[in-house]
Amino acid sequence: MQASTAYVSHAGATRLRPFRALLAWLSLAVMAACVAIPVSRYDAGTYAHLTSLKAETAVLLESFDSKPVKANEARIDEVSLSLRKAYEYERGKGADNRDTTAQLTRILDLFKEDVSTYRENGPGTLGKRYFSEAAIVLEQAFDIVIASENAKNKDRRQAP
């Protein structure tokens, strides 16, 4: 038996160079795109706004059980504006923050509904603690968005 020797041409390898270069550039582009994908991060400002707004909103709603509407109008306007500012701040972060923005939309809707009910019925007509119970529901909605923000904080600490 005779051993055969194969002739290896460098011409085939030369033809593969443009393909390898293209593959290298594509790999680099994919890696760069992965790094450039924006992810909503924990924001201490958001956390501070939300916890403060939760307390302010709950105290105001609880006062609806005993205070006349006229006595609360200025405070309703202040809290409404603060809620709107928080919403606009979160919305300004873009699509990556849509969960927080959606939750703030629910909070705004709940607050508007409670204010409307208060203005229509006044204190005490729906029960002694009607608005205190409504405040608990609103606090739970705030708890959800605050927990979401805290989860972002955990993600940030675990990131390499």
Q: Tell me: the pLDDT tens digits for 67-106? A: 999 999 999 999 999 999 999 999 998 888 888 999 999 9
What pLDDT band is residue 155 in, cutting at 50, 70 and 90? low
The per-residue pLDDT for 17 is 58
Q: Considering the domain boundaries, does residue 9 fall inside one?
A: no
The per-residue pLDDT for 6 is 52
Q: Considering the domain boundaries, does residue 16 fall inside one?
A: no
The per-residue pLDDT for 33 is 45
Orientation angle between helical segments 44-63 and 130-158, nearest 10 degrees? 170
Residue-range definition of the domain harbouring residue 77? 44-158
The per-residue pLDDT for 96 is 84
Q: Considering the domain boundaries, does residue 60 fall inside one?
A: yes
Question: What backbone phi and psi angles, to 5 degrees, belong to 37?
Answer: -70, 120
Q: Is the pLDDT of residue 158 over 80?
A: no
Q: Considering the domain boundaries, does residue 11 fall inside one?
A: no
For 9-64, what is each residue's pLDDT tens digit?
555 555 555 545 555 554 544 444 444 434 457 777 888 989 999 999 999 999 99
Q: Considering the domain boundaries, does residue 30 fall inside one?
A: no
Q: Considering the domain boundaries, does residue 3 fall inside one?
A: no
Question: What backbone phi and psi angles, to 5 degrees, belong to 40?
Answer: -65, 130
Q: Considering the domain boundaries, does residue 52 fall inside one?
A: yes
Which residue, among 150, 149, 67, has the nearest Cα to 104 in the 3D structure?
149
Give the total number of structural domains in the chain. Answer: 1
> What CATH number is attached to the domain comprising 121?
1.20.120
Cβ neighbors of 79 (< 8 A, separation 6 or more) are 53, 56, 57, 60, 111
**Where is pLDDT greater, at 122 or 28?**
122
Cβ neighbors of 14 (< 8 A, separation 6 or more) are none
Q: Considering the domain boundaries, does residue 25 fall inside one?
A: no
pTM of the model: 0.70
**Where is pLDDT greater, at 124 or 160?**
124
CA distance 142 to 148: 10
Q: Is the pLDDT of residue 7 over 60?
A: no
In percent, how much of the chain has pLDDT > 90?
A: 56
